[in-house]
Structure 1
Amino acid sequence: MNDLLERLRGGLVVSCQAYGDEPMNDAATMTKVAQAVVAGGAVAVRAQGISHLESMREVLDVPLIGLWKDGKDGVFITPTLEHALAVARTGAEVVALDGTTRPRPDGLTFAETVRGLTAQHDVLVMADVSTYEEGLLAAEAGADLVGTTLSGYTGYTEKGDGPDLDLVARLSAALDVPVVAEGRVHRPADAAAAVAAGAHCVVVGTGITHPTSITTWFADAVAAAVTDRTVN
C-alpha cells in the first residue's frame, strides 16, 4: 500500500461522477470518461456507486478511490460500514468515507468503521473532512489519507470560491499521513496552488468531468457579458 501512496504522490486524481437522472449517469458512460482522463494523465480515478466502480475496475490499470453516496443530508459519503465493505468488494484500492465528526447512520464512529473495514479488506481509507480538527481526529482514528473534500459542504464551514488552501496547508504541516486537496479545484492554477500548499495529490472533479456545470459557467459568463454590453 505504500507503493500505492507513492503512485499518487504529486499526481492528479480525477473524480468521475454523475448524479440522479443526468444523461451521463450510467456505468458504461462514466467508465469511458474514466478511461479518457487516464489517457490524459490522471494517476487515479475517484468514483461512486457499486456498478460504476465494478465497471471501471475491469478496464482501468490505475488505482480507484471508491465511495458510495447514499442520501443527501448529513453523512452520505459511504455512510455506514456496510457501504464501505461493499465498495471494497469492487476492487477499489482506497475507500473514501465521510471523516467528519457528525453522527453516522449505523451509529458507529469513524474509527469503528475504519477498524471494521480494514479487518476484512486490505484497503486504504481516505477520510473526507471539512475542518482542521476533523482531519487530526481522522488521522488518529486510522485514516491513511485525509482529504479536504467537505470543506464548505458542512453546516459549520464556509464555502469559498476555490479550494480551501489554508486547510490543505495546515493539515499538511500537522499530519504524517498524506493530505489530498479536493473541493472546488476548477482551474489548473488551483491544482498547482494546492500542491504548493503541501498536498500529496489533487482531486479534480466538476472542472473536468461534469459538463453540465462547466457549460453553466460559460453560459453565465456569456450572458453577463451580453448584459454589460447592452447596458453600456
Structure 2
Amino acid sequence: MNTEKNALNKIKSKLVVSCQALPEEPLHSSFIMGKMAYAAYLGGASGIRANSVEDIKEIKKQVDLPIIGIIKKVYEGSEVFITPTMEEVDELCREGVDIIAMDATDRVRPDGSTISELFPKLRAKYKDQLFMADCSTYEEGLMAAELGFDCVGTTLSGYTASTKGRALPDFEFVEKLVNTLTVPVISEGVISTPEELKRMYDLGVHAAVVGSAITRPMEITQRFMKSVTAT
C-alpha cells in the first residue's frame, strides 16, 4: 500500500473527531454532520469518524480528511451493532471509506459467527482495505491484532457486559495495548478534556478519537447542568 495514501499515517499523533448523531438526537442529519466535520477540520482535526454511508458522502463534500467509517445497525438477538456483518462492510467499501471500524469483541454476531470467524473472510475479500478493531478488553485487542486488523481501538471499553462500570477513559487498557501490540493503537471512548487527550498521547497511542465532548451539544449541556442543579 502506498504509504503516502495510508490514512493511518495521516492521523498519526493527531486528532480524529467523531461526527455522529443517532436518529433520536437533535442533530441527526447528514447535512449537519457534514458541517460538524468541516468545523472540526477548521479546528485542526486530521480525521473524522462517521456513521452511515449517507453521512460519509456528505462529509466527503465538506472535507478532504481520512474517514473512519462505521454503520451502526441493530439486529435482533445480537449485542453487536457497530458494522456487525459482511453486508455493512460491503456498503462501506463501495463508498470508499479510508478505514472501516467494526466491533471486534468476543460477542456473537447477528449471523451467529464470531469475529475470529468473520474477519478472515473480510480480509480475503478486501486485501487492501484498512480495518480498525473496536475492542473492549485487552484479550480482544490481542486477538484482533492476531487476526490481521490494521489498528486496534479501545472504543468499547465500558460498553459491554464484561466491562460495564469501568472508569473511563480507560488509561490502563490503553497502556497495556500500547506496550504489547505492534499495530497502531487508537484511543477512543469518553475522552472529555484536553488533559485526558494529552495523557493518551503520553502513553504512546497512534491517534485518538474524541466525539461527545466536541460534537454532542446536548450531552455537553447536560454536563454543565449537573453543576448547576448540584448547587
List 4+ stretches of structure 1 deviating above 4 A. Answer: none
- Hey, what does 1:175 align to over in structure 2? 181
User: Residues 103-157 of structure 1, C-alpha deviation per residue, up to 9 Å, x if partnerless?
Assistant: 1112333244333334444320000000000000011011101000000000001
User: Residues 175-203 of structure 1, C-alpha deviation per residue, up to 9 Å, x if partnerless?
Assistant: 01000111010111111111111211110
Q: Give SS of 1:54's match.
A: helix
Superposed CA RMSD in Å reads 1.6
Letter in 2 for 1:6: N
Letter in 2 for 1:211: P
Moved more, 16-25 or 110-119: 110-119
Q: 2:79·2:107 contact (CA, 8 Å) conserved in 1?
A: yes
- Hey, what does 2:94 align to over in structure 1? 89
Q: Give SS of 1:65's match.
A: strand
Letter in 1 for 2:51: Q
Q: Give SS of 2:100's match.
A: strand
CA-CA distance at 1:49 after TM superposition: 1.1
* Residues 1:103 and 2:108 are matched in the alignment: yes
Aligned counterparts, 1:143-158, within 5 A:
143-158=149-164
- Hey, what does 1:212 align to over in structure 2? 218
Decide which of 10, 20, 23 is 1:7's aligned counterpart. 10
Aligned counterparts, 1:37-116, within 5 A:
37-71=40-74, 74-116=79-121
Alpha-carbon distance in structure 1 between the residues aligned to 2:174 and 2:184: 10
TM-score normalised by the chain length of structure 1: 0.92
User: Residues 198-224 of structure 1, C-alpha deviation per residue, up to 9 Å, x if partnerless?
Assistant: 211110000000011000000111111
Say how many residue pairs are matched: 225
CA-CA distance at 1:161 after TM superposition: 4.4
- Hey, what does 1:32 align to over in structure 2? 35
Q: 2:86·2:122 contact (CA, 8 Å) conserved in 1?
A: yes
Decide which of 136, 142, 151 is 2:148's aligned counterpart. 142
Alpha-carbon distance in structure 2 between the residues aligned to 1:109 and 1:160: 24
Q: 1:57·1:92 contact (CA, 8 Å) conserved in 2?
A: no
CA-CA distance at 1:58 after TM superposition: 3.0
Alpha-carbon distance in structure 2 between the residues aligned to 1:190 and 1:169: 13
Decide which of 117, 124, 137 is 2:122's aligned counterpart. 117
User: Residues 3-49 of structure 1, C-alpha deviation per residue, up to 9 Å, x if partnerless?
Assistant: 32221110110000111232211111111001110111111000101
Q: Give SS of 1:176's match.
A: coil
Alpha-carbon distance in structure 1 between the residues aligned to 2:200 and 2:123: 29
- Hey, what does 2:199 align to over in structure 1? 193
Moved more, 110-119 or 52-61: 110-119
Letter in 1 for 2:217: P
- Percent identity, aligned pairs only, is 43
Quick check: which has more Rg, 1 or 2? 1
- Stretches of structure 2 lacking an aligned partner (at least 5 in a row): none
TM-score normalised by the chain length of structure 2: 0.92
Q: 2:80·2:109 contact (CA, 8 Å) conserved in 1?
A: yes
